[in-house]
Structure 1
Amino acid sequence: MSQSNSSQSPSPRSTPDLDADYGAQMKDLLLSISPEMSVQQLGETRQKILALVSDHDETVTGLKRRLVDVENEANNPSKRTRRSRNHRTEGMEEPAGDFTPEELESAGPGRKMVILCALWLAVGEGGDTVSAPPGGSKDENDERQGQLRELDNIMPVELRPFMKRGWFAQALADGMKSQLANTAYRLRKDGLANLVDGLKVPKPARRHNASPRRCHQPGHIRTALDYFKRRIGWIDDTGKYSFFNIPFLHANETSKLDYNQLFRHPLLLKIWSCIIRGIVAPTHVMKKKAVHPRASTMQRIFNIQYTTPGAIAASAVWVVWMFSADETFADTGDVTDINYYERFNLYLEKILEGLGHRQLWAWELFQYWDEHLFPELNGSHSGGGAVNRDDDQREELCRRRV
């Protein structure tokens, strides 16, 4: 499910005073600190400062990358050559209007696809690390058609005629790869502390004659790893990871599939809030409080106003990977051999099936997510809120893909 594009071609070239804006925001935060503040208030301010620094670093990194791309293009005579009616350059494609592949990536259709719709594409040629393995089954063809419709829905109108161009596909893939890498780093590095805050992890029994230092030895680490392995569905009898009997997918952490609890674990909601709002947001999401940093966020960039089926399915996949032994995020785990691509499709299919058949658990699931992530919008129509068009679009998606 995608949220329709309401902006949204790339803005004209300009040179924003990023340092001035960053400095002003940092100054405001520092001046807000006072001895009268509580420990909690100081902690929240500290997190805001860290988030601001992180977002600024990401912006600077992106600008440096863009500068390198522009310099490389400027130094490549073949790319500076203009095509005319009487002299066409073989093997080159005309970008869409004033757009370059780099500007298309910054416009974000690839990033938006990952955040709202799907972690991988079922379209495109084999060998692309973002695309699914090529195949010809009916289910795979249906998946491709569904994703093409989602791409068309999130795409700026000016770019839709160019969706079959080679440079377009590459820019889309680059945007998806960039978002996947950014999310993986955020979940396991910058945002980890806020994501796991409040998560209960059992400690190994300590013998009366054991030194405190031993509690941090390999035995303790193995206990924690074994605990998390089971939290994400490991079954000793089969030697495999379950798809649905996963405590970290259920609000009550049951190890048996319960549709009334499925996809409601706080970790899933925290993960998506971290993706769309930054590393501070997870600390407030279960309090039904939306925190919007002053820095630019994915929610602001893409005008995200409600939960999508793809967002829930992706968050379920992210939580499994986050606590797995896999070092890098890919369609198949490099250590566990978990098939994350298959897992995402299965979760998405289950959600869409529930919506398409108007099953109560599925409609209440979106009410639950919207109430926590978008409390200022009064949830969604399916949950008794005020935003009717969200559910109309969900129903349209079900008619297309179920």
Structure 2
Amino acid sequence: MTPAGVIHKVFPAALVWFLQLQPCAPENVTATTPYDYDYNTSTDYDDYPQQCGKASNNHFRLWFMPLFFSAICLLGLAGNLLVIVTVFYFQRLKTMTDVYLLNLAVADLLLALTLPLRAASCLARWALGLFLCKAMYTVYKLSFYSGMFLLSLISVDRYFAVAKAVSSHRRRTEAALFSKVSAAAVWVAALVFSVPEMVYTNTDNGDCAPFPRGNKSLLVRVQSGQIALGFGLPLLVMTFCYTCIVQTLCQARSFERNKAIKVILAVVAVFLLSQVPYNAVLFLNTVLAATGDVVDCDVDNRLMYATDLTQCLAFLRCCLNPFVYAFIGVKFRHDFMKLLKDFGCLSHATFYRYAWGRRRSSAATDTESTTNTFSP
């Protein structure tokens, strides 16, 4: 057997062995592959003539998923609406960062709006019709790709603002136009990548499923593209940009550089913690579907739990992004405080005490420009 053939056989088996925490199921239990069902829907497994029970998985989805989706939806709506209102209230669309933050907030807002539909699909059979079924998966994929691409553009923008500060300062006029063109291109690309969900999503036996259950080749192609373009590419871009930014900040003789580095670490940590676990499980699912390997019932159920939990973790980005990318920034946080003051939610004394504290800190260190350069 050729080395490639050995890798093709051994690698998927090693992944399955690593996941398997208990002995194999008895021989009288019929094994199923993870792709006899769809992980993104609440499937009632009682309709399937198989001995591998899914009652525990269904019960988990019945109580945990709706509660989690509801909480994330409320937080995501609140945070992203505040970002959008602040941007338009102060007319902050003059820089690349402002444009990208606004579009990122819209993408996360769209994701948050799909979560009530997902919660409804976990509680009972799908009864909302084909249109909402297609809309749920299409809007989710649209917000997913647009959000990941915008995070990449934000890292590139910060790279030029910090590591290439002189050249970027000379091209501020061109940068404003480029930000709007690139943001529009992101939405067009995300819409194109959402076409499979738009075309193939259907209602099957009371469930809302994004792909036909028997078409594994289509599933493998779509999920492979999602891992490569929606996770791998942004990861490479962000790793390069933020590594260069940290190197530049470490060479600066500034007290505020430590604060800017902490902002970068927070940005990277949120991305990795929310996206790496889900994409790792998605990669395992894709390998199993591509190779046709069969896993025992216990591993099958554990893989379902892993998929549900890591997907919930990935959804957290829609409520964390506003705080990491917007409210942690010095200028944006100041605008938000002023917005609260203008709407009567914050007293004048509190606001001016906060503003005066900022001016004193800036005068004392004369280095706040470092953080301003990195932070939105």
TM-score w.r.t. the length of structure 2 is 0.22
Higher share of residues assigned helix: 2
Structure with the greater relative contact order (CA < 8 A, sep ≥ 6): 1 or 2?
2
